[in-house]
Amino acid sequence: MPPVVNGGVARNKPARTSKAMRREVPLERTRNIGIMAHIDAGKTTTTERVLFYTGMTYKVGEVHDGTAVMDWMAQEQERGITITSAATTCVWRDHRINIIDTPGHVDFTAEVERSLRVLDGAVAVFDAVGGVEPQSETVWRQADKYRVPRICFVNKMDRVGADFCGTLTQIREKLKANPVAVHLPLGTEEKFCGVIDLVRMKTLRYQDDTLGANPVLEEISTEHLDEAMSRREMLIEKVCEVNDQLLQKYLHGEAIGEEEIIATLRRRTIQSVHDEEVPFVPVFCGSAFKNKGVQPLIDGVVDYLPSPADVPPVTGSAPDGNDLLQRPAADDAPFSALAFKIMTDPYVGQLAFIRVYSGVIAAGATIYNPRLRRKERIGRLLKMHANKREEIQQMSAGDIAAVVGLKSVATGDTICDQHYPLVLEAMEFPTPVITLAIEPRTKADQEKLGQGLAKLTSEDPTFQVRTDDETGQVVISGMGELHLEIIVDRLHREFGVEATVGRPQVAYRETLTKASAAEGRYVKQTGGRGQYGHVSLRVAPGQPGDGFVFRNEVFGGSIPKEFIKPVEDGVRESITTGVLAGYPIEDVTVTLYDGSSHAVDSSELAFKIAGSMAFRDAARRAAPVLLEPVMRVEVVVPEVYMGDIIADLNGRRGKVSSMEARSGAQIVNARVPLAAMFGYATELRSRTQGRATYSMHFDCYEPVPRVVSEEIVARGAY
């Protein structure tokens, strides 16, 4: 591993990118957080209440009414779901909190991925009835991946079947976390009226007539005192595990103060993602819709989640990749930032959302993009409040805002000081699993379709567009039916495109099951100089997730060095269209071990074609199989319909993995091929009189059964 070197500039020397002005809010009083959860757990409702109590909005927005500030897109308001992550800023206890509200639907998981990449902390919201649901597990793993400290909020405590302790157990068992309750619910279900604060040992009772704005602080009643004391003991034990001083106090029977508890909880929450096997998470409870428990949650964000100064310095590499560079979160360090989201705005053009990791940038400054080795000028800086914008003059370390004027910046690009170039780690996004053909209805629509698709592709890394070589159709790919439905709807509304859409198709893959070898010989004599390329290849199946691996084992110069890369390029091209039905080949190792060349006739093109021929020949001999995406499906269904639902899943080639009773309903977990899940929502509603719900997300690729595979191969590539 290359050595880590410092940022290359003295800490007290101002960055060259701009002249630093005085910060509005000190770095230590800044919080960059995301709200993440399963669909319908209450993320947007919670964010709306945060904005209301912090004075950013004068009335409470509701998701079901289409009045939520954060759900500003027409598609979001109509469907009552979050589609795109929305950023906003508020102030609480003299702290600036930058919030990103993320979608819960699996089709828009890229929004969560890129948000967590640039955030310092997160609030995980759970439905007190549903507990830890499938997408909660997905976003939790994403937070683990980027080592994001988090706190939990058990929402909907007023619903029938709400179970705070059960949700704590699920967080521990399903998410492999270390939760500690800092709150207890006061009352259950319809009698839920507030929370018991275990740190201060007080009760917060909320009044409905004031929209929960001024909760009443009371002593804990005798009815709840025993449980509160027991839970507080657990809290103190968790605190003492990492603080020897407090442990001594505890063992000697001395009282431990509120500030000591909060400071230790904060330190452990932040450090656990780096130092412990499982993240340590303080757990709050409440009902965002009923305006209960939200203010203590905002206090928890301030008390327990890190500022940019509390997290380790960001690490990147030099543009040549030889050295690792660190940038401290300081205004006097060289400027560095990551563009994590691109958005097309009808009024100002392309917006690039950036997180500043170090240094200061001002409107009109010049920045450097090391990926393109290009300098660009920043036009305007905008602080975003959902789809509303406020112009600002500068951004400092730890800030999140939008930039106007960066035309060539893409999602995941680093922008930095041209004198101190740095490349931050890029983001990885899942590959699309579903495709469909789209055709413009008129000639005028054709041009608009091209422009619209280009803009949407730049916005969404999980949305891909290609043209089918055989049919000439435009094929769009995404993460699910809803994802592509939203894309088509946006094309119509935002770009005025009238288009016809084909039936969704599954994004199959191919892979090899055994090793083989073949040679490719491309010889063409046309008078004068001809073409000559000759290669011998071995192919072997790789490990899942390895992708394409190319090895050169040619010795003795049988193939000149300048022709090795063309051979690899030829193989890479062949991999994109497999040998069974034209689908991409995954996880394959290709070894070039021999060949021959001609002093005059050999060329890069000849070896590229020879490499392609050899690979396709070897792949046909390596027992190729078709792979299909398999989804994890969770169905919540009343018990009376259980048999019907399980029979239907079995009929869709599904495998039921578990069944459990929860809150008067049955939870069926199964793994089902995506190809069999089209139209399942309608079928489920009709079989259960609309009483069942389901969620699904991508699990893995698995071999297709022989009968189905033969049918797909006979049909050919899409």
Q: Tell whether the model's pLDDT for residue 435 goes beyond 70.
A: yes
Average pLDDT, the chain: 83
**H or E segment and range at residue 350:** strand 349-358
Q: Residue 72 pLDDT > 60, yes or no?
A: no
Name the least confident of 379-388, 468-477, 538-547, 642-651. Answer: 468-477
Residues 6+ apart with CB under 8 A from 550: 568, 571, 572, 590, 591, 592
* Structure-block tokens of residue 185: 């619910």
Place of tokens 């006097």: 332
Q: How big is the CA angle at 653 (ends 693 and 548), to the nearest 5 degrees?
A: 100
Q: Does the pLDDT value for residue 347 go beyond 80? A: no
Amino acid at the residue 544: P
Rounded to whole angstroms, the Cα distance separating 439 from 423 reads 39
Listing DSSP states for 484-518 in one string gives HHHHHHHHHHHH---EEE---EE--EEEE-S-EEE
pLDDT of residue 539: 92
Query: Confidence class of residue 152 from pLDDT cuts 50, 70 and 90?
Result: very high
Compute the average pLDDT of residues 337-347: 83
pLDDT exceeds 60 at position 608: yes
pLDDT surpassing 50 at residue 390: yes
Q: Among 283-297, 349-363, 460-474, whose mean pLDDT is lowest?
A: 460-474
The confidence score (pLDDT) of residue 169 equals: 92
Does an H or E element contain 23, and which?
none
Cα separation values, 159 from 29, 48, 610, Å? 35, 19, 66
User: Confidence class of residue 10 from pLDDT cuts 50, 70 and 90?
Assistant: very low
567 touches 520 (CB < 8 A): no
- Write the pLDDT tens digit of every residue in 372-382: 888 988 888 88
Q: State yes or no: pLDDT of 61 exceeds 60.
A: no
Tell me the pLDDT tens digit for each residue of 673-717.
988 888 787 788 778 877 777 877 788 888 898 888 888 887 764
Mean pLDDT of 608-630: 90
What average pLDDT does the segment 129-149 reach?
Answer: 85
HSE-CB of 400 using CA atoms within 13 angstroms: 30
| pLDDT confidence tier of residue 76, bands split at 50, 70 and 90 | low
d(CA 388, CA 378): 20
Taking 60 as the threshold, does the pLDDT of residue 452 lie above it?
Answer: yes
- pLDDT value of position 168: 93
- Residue 144, pLDDT > 70, answer yes
| pLDDT exceeds 70 at position 414 | yes
pLDDT-wise least confident of 209-218, 256-265, 330-339, 624-633: 209-218
Q: What would the mean pLDDT of 624-632 be, rounded to a whole number? A: 89
Residue 85: pLDDT band by 50, 70, 90 thresholds?
confident
pLDDT value at position 60?
63
Query: Does the model's pTM come out above 0.75?
Result: no
pLDDT at 527: 63
Q: What percent of the chain has pLDDT over 90?
A: 18
Of residues 96 and 506, the one with the higher pLDDT is: 96
pLDDT of residue 16: 40
Q: Kindly report the CA angle at 456 between 452 and 461, in degrees rounded to 5?
A: 155
pLDDT value at residue 3: 44
Candidates 669, 663, 675, 639; CA nearest to 509 is 675
The mean per-residue pLDDT over the stretch 414-442 comes to 84
* The two three-digit tokens of residue 244, written as one number: 């020897």
Say whether pLDDT at 4 is over 60: no
Is residue 15 over pLDDT 80? no
Structure tokens at 640: 């009376």
Contact 96, 27 (CB under 8 A): no
* pLDDT grade for 58, boundaries at 50, 70 and 90: low
Cα–Cα distance between 516 and 416 in angstroms, integer? 47
Over residues 653-678, the pLDDT tens digits come to 999 998 888 766 788 999 999 888 88
SS3 of 513-572: CCCEEEEEEEEECCCCCCEEEEEEEEEEECCCCCCEEEEECCCCCCCCHHHHHHHHHHHH
Residue 9, pLDDT > 60, answer no
Token pair 């209805």 in the structure block, residue: 441
Q: What is the mean pLDDT of residues 239-258?
A: 83
Predicted pLDDT of residue 2? 45
| Of residues 323 and 331, more confidently modeled | 331
